[in-house]
Amino acid sequence: MIGKTTICKTCGNEIPRVSKRCPKCGAKIYNVKMVICKSCGEEIAKTANRCPKCGAVQHIIALSIAGVLSAFIIYLIVKIIIMSLGI
Ligand SMILES: [Zn+2]
Ligand SMILES: [Zn+2]
């Protein structure tokens, strides 16, 4: 569900997302950066490692770094094989 409201962390009241301060208690609202889950479309916190709704892993950057690393390792192995062949 993509709502236009958020929950005040101070008093727990549901308040409009656009508000800078909670209309109930006056506490300053720190809007957590939200992203859309690529798997189920649910709006989730950007800092979340996994979607709380469907459990899909969200940090694609970390995955791509792992992909680059494994590609580099494969490149090194291929290079060692070529060197060992004595070409
Ligand atoms: Zn409040
Ligand atoms: Zn999801």
d(CA 8, CA 26): 10
Residue 69: φ, ψ to 5°? -60, -45
Q: Which ligand is located closest to the Cα atom of residue 13?
A: 1
For residues 82 and 87, what is the distance between their CA atoms, to the nearest angstrom? Answer: 7
Question: Domain coordinates of the chain in residue numbers?
Answer: 5-84
The answer to whether 15 touches 5, Cβ cutoff 8 Å, is yes
CA of 56 to the centre of ligand 2 (A): 6
pLDDT, one tens digit per residue, over 10-48 is: 899 998 887 788 899 998 876 667 788 888 998 888 888
3-state secondary structure of 38: coil
Identity of the amino acid at 2? I
- The pTM for the full model equals 0.36
